[in-house]
Amino acid sequence: MSIIKTDKVSFDYLIYGDEGQEPEVNHAVINVSIDVRPGKFIAILGHNGSGKSTFAKHLNALLLPTEGTVWVNGIDTKDESRTLEIRQSAGMVFQNPDNQIVASVVEEDVGFGPENMGVPTEKIWKRVDEALQKTGMTAYRQHSPNRLSGGQKQRVAIAGVMAMRPKCIVMDEPTAMLDPNGRKEVLEAVRELNKAEGVTVILITHYMEEVIGADHIFVMNDGEVVMEGNPRMIFSQVEKLQELRLDVPHVTQLAYALKKEGLDIPDGILTTDELADALMRIRKE
C-alpha cells in the first residue's frame, strides 16, 4: 500500500487585480501523479516557481487540489473529518524552523505536538526522549531554541514532527536558509531517520547534492512533472537539467565536462569515488 499517492492533481491560484476585473488563474500544479511506498526516500526537484512547494502542501492537506485526488495512508485529503489523522501520518517540516518552534525550551517544543494530540504525559516524555535522541539533540534539551544554530533549530523542528510518530515526513526546502554545516547536520539526521527508523521522507529541494542518495526523483517545471527516475538516470541528463535551470552535483558536472573532452567516462557519475575509479580505469587502459 502507498503511504502517499496522488492522481492527476492540479491546483489553481486566483490572482485578483482591479475591482470589477475577472481574476487571473495561475496554474501552479498541473496533472501531477506520484506513488510513494513506505520507507522510501523521495526527492522533488525544481527551480523557484516550479510548483514543487505548492505540491508539497497537498501532501498533508494544507492545500486541497482543484482537480484530482491525494491519498495519505489511504485517506482522501478532501475528507475534512480526517484531517488530523492525515497530518499525524504525514508531518511537515518547513523552510524556516523559527516558524515551527513555539516553546522557550527545546524539550517543551518537541512535546508540543503530542500534547495537542492528547497523548498521556508519561508517553509524551518518552516520545520527546526518543525524538531528541534520533535527531542528535538530547544534549540541548534544556536549551532555549533561540540560542541554537540554524541547523540545530531545524533538527528540533524535525524532532517535534517525529514526536508525533508520523509514517512520513514531508520536508519543504528544509535547508534553504542554512549554511553548509547546517545543511549537513539536517541531512544526516533525515537520512538516519529514513534508514534506521524506516520513516518515509519526501524532500523538496533545489540543492542537487542533497538527493544523490534518494530512491526516486521527480523533477518539476511550470507545475508539471517533466522527469522522473533514480538519481543516476536523472543526473545522466545534464543538458536537459540545465535547460530546466537546474544544476547538477559538482562531480557530475566535472565528469560531464571530461567526457565532452573525449574521455571514456560513463554518464551519471554521482560521487568523487566513482569519478576516481573511472579515471583510474582510463589510465590503466
Please give the Cα distance from 267 to 256 (Å, whole number). Answer: 7
Residue 104 CA: distances (Å) to CA of 64, 107, 108, 189, 241? 33, 9, 7, 22, 43
User: What average pLDDT is seen over the chain?
Assistant: 91
Query: What is the average per-residue pLDDT within 258-279?
Result: 90
Note the pLDDT of residue 206: 82
Whether the predicted model's global pTM rises above the 0.85 cut? yes
Query: What is the average per-residue pLDDT within 164-170?
Result: 91
Confidence of residue 21 (pLDDT cuts 50, 70, 90): confident
Domains of the chain, start order: 4-230 (3.40.50.300)
Torsion of CA 137, 203, 275, 181, to 10 degrees: -30
Note the pLDDT of residue 24: 85
Confidence of residue 185 (pLDDT cuts 50, 70, 90): confident
Query: What is the average per-residue pLDDT within 62-87?
Result: 95
Confidence of residue 46 (pLDDT cuts 50, 70, 90): very high
Burial class (CB in 10 A: 0-12, 13-18, 19+), 167: middle
Give backbone dihedrals phi and psi of 254, rounded to 5 degrees, phi first.
-65, -45
Please give the Cα distance from 87 to 85 (Å, whole number). Answer: 6
Percent above pLDDT 90 for the chain: 59
Do 31 and 9 form a contact (C-beta atoms < 8 A)? yes
Q: Does position 6 have pLDDT exceeding 90, yes or no? A: yes
Q: Which helix (H) or strand (E) holds 9?
A: strand 4-15
To which residue does cell 534518494 refer?
214
Give backbone dihedrals phi and psi of 183, rounded to 5 degrees, phi first.
-60, -40
DSSP label at residue 214: -
With CA atoms as reference, report the closest residue to 137 among 167, 161, 106, 109.
106
